[in-house]
Structure 1
Amino acid sequence: MHVLIVGAGGFVGRHLAGRLAADGVRVSAAGRDRRRLDRLLPGLSFLACDLATDGMAEWLPRLAGVDAVVNCAGLIRDAGGRYAAVHDKGARALFDACLAAGVRRVIQISALGANEDAVTRYHRSKRAADDHLAGLDPTGERMDWAVVRPSLIVGRGGQSTALFASLAALPLPFRLGSGRWLLQPIHVDDLVEAIVRLLGRPGRIATRIDAVGPAPMTTDAITLGFRRWLGLGSARFLPVPVRLIAATAWLGQRIGLGAVTPESLAMLRAGNVGDVEPFIAICGFRPATLDRALARTPATSTDLAGARLAPLRPVLRGLLALVWLAGGIVPLTLTSWAHSLALLAGAGITGAAAPVALGGAALIDIAIGLALLLRIRLRAAAVISILVMAGYSLILAICFPALWADPFGPLVKNLGVLGLTLAVHALETDRG
């Protein structure tokens, strides 16, 4: 069997590709970034695609010789109306091409809640594509299909796991809203097992399946489950008002940060549960409870450290950005020009070159600070900041060696800033 996975670089796509390849299935990974897919899924064949722009003309030649397609593509944020472009329009073009190319089976990874009562743009866009797929061949005579609608998906590398593990690792775990919002988490391994069984299932499928765990859980119970997995004891919850969560989600939506967006918050508040029995009947197994699923891969000290560091990522980046912004703004607005020019004269920079050097250095500092704050090529900005700071420190050490003995330690403190910069650079390795 030759399986094409669209969105293979995502959380579910990566796990599915790895499982199928381990089972000896021929897998083609489709996505926008070849270098990223080569890094994440070495050894698999790659197809360049972009659901936001590709139509049938682009998809037809890619589908030659493909027996089954699994569409795992999904977005967290609706930046520039991309839900409609990727979830709906792009998926419909893919499904049309599958039918025309003679692909025998298509599996669409949708979302629990993408039904007739869908209210969020995320769910409506998924539902539109689901309906289109089902309408192409309702009985599956020419191309059979399955729409798999998972609830909260947990597992290493997932946004939901990162969120709840971070909440659980806090000294006082945050309580989301009332703490009684209901979800029905399914582990990614169980979701992948279901997809694998659907791919190999004999006969026609033509069905929609809610992929849920064995029972609903409150958000408090999920957080405590992750706390147990991390090896932490019981703790009291710290309530977080819904308005504060909403404000954080709104800000995260604008700056592209965090797993909680206004849409995902609306989904949490509305609840995300379903009946597990049809899933069991179709897929032939019962998904594991959260505790048992997490126990398959016991947490390590690295998991605990990652959970504790995750909430600090934006804090560390913000602090480093503040250092550089202050380094550029203060000399231009608060420090007297006479004092600044006197310092430059001590370094041998005088005359017309002095104001240029002062203004240029300040603008470089501000540019680095803004790049860090706005998440513009973060790792490159961190490397540039190290080089610039090293240059400043070298000049000061040579021209003003007395600063090493200064009680405020202006040069020694650069070592602390260097450590902060290295931490920011390390924590942003998955962002390019």
Structure 2
Amino acid sequence: MRVMIVGGGFIGGHLAGRLRAEDCAVKIAGRHGHDIACDLTREDASIWAERLQGYDAVVNCAGALAAGADYDGLHSRGAMALFDGAAQAGVDRVIQISALGAKDGTTAYHSSKRAADEHLTTLGLGWAIVRPSLVVGRGGGSTTLFSALAVLPVLPDIGGGPVAPIAIDDLVEAVWRLLQRPLPMAVVVDAVGPEKMRIVDLISILRRWQGLGPARSLQVPRWILRAVARLGIGPMTLESLAMLEAGNSAPVEPFVVTLGFTPQPVAQVLARHPATQSDTLAARLLPLAPALRGLLAAVWLAGGLVPLLLTPMTQNIQLLARLGLEGTGAVGTVWAGSLADIAIGLALLLHWRGAALAGVVLMSVYSLILFAIAPELLADPFGALVKNLAVLGLSLAVHAMEKPNA
């Protein structure tokens, strides 16, 4: 079976691995770093029709839930163009990974998913719409976030309606069974786990998975969550907050009847895949990432602003005289260095890729120059030059924590 998976993130990546293990010929289409480069928000049906020639099935795993996401372009218009292209190319079946709540949800996220779902049902080909609740597994955004909250001394109870999380392996098994289902096919299924729970219960499960003991929970006031969402601090958005309040659950029995197997409780699935040291390390680092980036940006901004605003220019020029720079050349060097520092600080705050690595290069150059012209700084009681090593280490850590292109 030749299968194209559109969207190579968490779900798409796990699905591709399973299909390849079943000897399927699989290609992943995504924005960066995949078999086929594509952009759902820009490509029309004719492009997909040509691209999908000879494929037996398409699974659309593309999706986003973030502030500023182009829901209409990605979930609606882009998905519709994909489905139309599949119909034109004669693809036998299309499986759409939608979202639980898309049927009657009121958020822009749900509305965009619903529009694509409804369009798919009109095309006269074999189709299935899978609407998962929270999907739990390594690499998942929700799992990563809640694992990070799980290592805190006090577990934040963010409230919300009940959820019915499903393990990624069970979701992938469901898609695999749909790919083998006889045609014609017209299936809508809510992909949920067998247990309903609160988000704080799921956080507690992830805490036990990481080998940590029980912890008290603390109710987070709704106004704080709304303020965080409005300010864009962290992953929570007003969309995700509305979805949290509405809940994300459904009865599991229709899933069992449709697909012929019972999904397992997430605690049981996690127990079969024990957390490693790297899982716990990643969970501990995630909450620190914004602070580390902010502190590094502050160092660079201070390095640029202090020489221009606080340090007398004559003092700066005296230091540069050791390099043979005087007058206009020295002043220009001070300005160039300060502006470079400010640029790196701003780039860090704007989350530009490579900003921390650029800082490593610039800090290394500064350190070598200072070592050559002012070696006495090595004996400075405040460690003026030695502290650059700590900044270099912080820069490497921030760079290592950057998300890869996806």
TM-score, shorter chain, exceeding 0.5? yes
Quote the Cα distance in structure 1 between the aligned partners of 2:398 and 2:38. 31
Distance 1:359 1:89 in 2: 48
Structure 1 residue 159 displacement after superposition: 0.3
Tell me if structure 1 keeps the 8 A contact 2:64–2:71.
yes
1:189 match: secondary structure: helix
Matching of residue 384 in structure 1 with residue 358 in structure 2: yes
Matching residue of 2:139: 157
Deviation at 1:207, TM superposition (A): 2.0
Work out whether residues 135 and 165 of structure 2, in 8 Å CA contact, stay in contact via their aligned partners in 1.
Answer: yes
Residues 89-168 of structure 1 mapped to structure 2, 5 A cutoff: 89-115=77-103, 117-137=104-124, 143-168=125-150
Report Cα offsets for 1:2-58 as digits up to 9, x if no partner.
Answer: 111111x2110000011000110111211222xx12xxxxxxxx3332211111211
Q: What's the secondary structure of 1:327's corresponding residue?
A: helix
Q: 1:366 to 1:11 in 2, by over 3 A?
A: same
CA displacement at 1:431 relative to structure 2: 4.7
2:372 counterpart (385, 398, 410): 398
1:337 to 313, 329, 339: 313
Native 8 Å contact 1:160 1:259 kept in 2:
no
2:191 alignment partner in structure 1 = 211
* Pairwise CA distance, 1:180: 5.4
Do structure 1's residue 201 and structure 2's residue 200 form an aligned pair? no
**Structure 1 contact 164–223 (Cα < 8 Å) conserved:** yes
Distance 1:72 1:425, change over 3 A: same
- SS of the aligned residue for 2:327 comes to coil
The residue type paired with residue 415 of structure 1 is L
**Structure 2 residue runs without a partner (length 5+):** none
- Is 1:170 aligned with 2:152? yes
User: Are 1:58 and 2:40 an aligned pair?
Assistant: no
Q: Is the 8 A contact 2:67 2:237 kept in 1?
A: no
Partner of 1:5: 5
How many percent of aligned residue pairs carry the same amino acid? 55
Count how many residue pairs are aligned between Structure 1 and Structure 2: 406
User: 1: CA distance between counterparts of 2:403 and 2:251?
Assistant: 39
1:360 aligns to what? 336
Question: 1:52 corresponds to which letter in structure 2?
Answer: T
Q: Match for residue 75 of structure 2?
A: 87
Question: Paired residue for 1:229?
Answer: 209
User: In the alignment, is the contact (CA less than 8 A) between 2:130 and 2:189 conserved in 1?
Assistant: yes
CA contact (8 A) 2:59 2:94 kept: yes
The answer to whether the 8 Å contact 2:160/2:245 transfers is no
Describe the superposition over 1:398-419 as per-residue Cα deviations: whole angstroms up to 9, x where unpaired. Answer: 2112211111110111111111
Q: Secondary structure at the match of 1:430?
A: coil
Q: 2 CA distance for matches of 1:322 and 1:181?
A: 39
Deviations 1:58-89 (A, max 9, x none): 1111121111111111012253x611011001
Query: Mapping of 1:304-323 within 5 angstroms?
Result: 304-323=280-299
Give the direction of change, closer, same or farther, for the CA distance of 1:172–1:294 in structure 2 (3 Å limit). Answer: same
Q: Which sections of structure 1, spanning at least 5 residues, go unmatched?
A: 38-45, 138-142
Counterparts of 2:218 and 2:367 in 1: how far apart (Å)?
43
C-alpha distance in structure 1 between counterparts of 2:248 and 2:9, whole Å: 21
Normalization by structure 2: what TM-score?
0.96
Letter in 2 for 1:250: R
Which stretch of the first structure deviates more once superposed, 125-134 or 62-71?
A: 62-71
How far off is 1:429 after superposition?
5.2
2:252 is matched with 276
- Kept in 2, the 8 Å contact 1:212–1:276? The answer is yes
Q: 2:243 aligns with which of 244, 261, 267?
A: 267
Q: 2: CA distance between counterparts of 1:400 and 1:267?
A: 58
Identify if the C-alpha distance between structure 1 residues 48 and 68 changes in structure 2 by more than 3 Å, giving closer, same or farther: same
Counterpart CA distance in 2 for 1:52 and 1:128 is 15
Question: 1:381 and 1:113 mapped to 2: Cα distance?
Answer: 39
Q: CA RMSD in A?
A: 1.6
1:423 is aligned, of 388, 397, 406, to: 397
| Segments ≥4 residues shifted beyond 6 Å | none
Query: 3-state SS of the aligned residue for 1:183?
Result: coil
Distance 1:25 1:163, change over 3 A: same
C-alpha separation between the residues in 1 aligned to 2:179 and 2:67? Answer: 30
Distance in 2 (CA, whole Å) between partners of 1:251 and 1:157 is 26
Q: Provide the rounded CA distance (Å) in 2 between the counterparts of 1:47 and 1:428.
A: 23
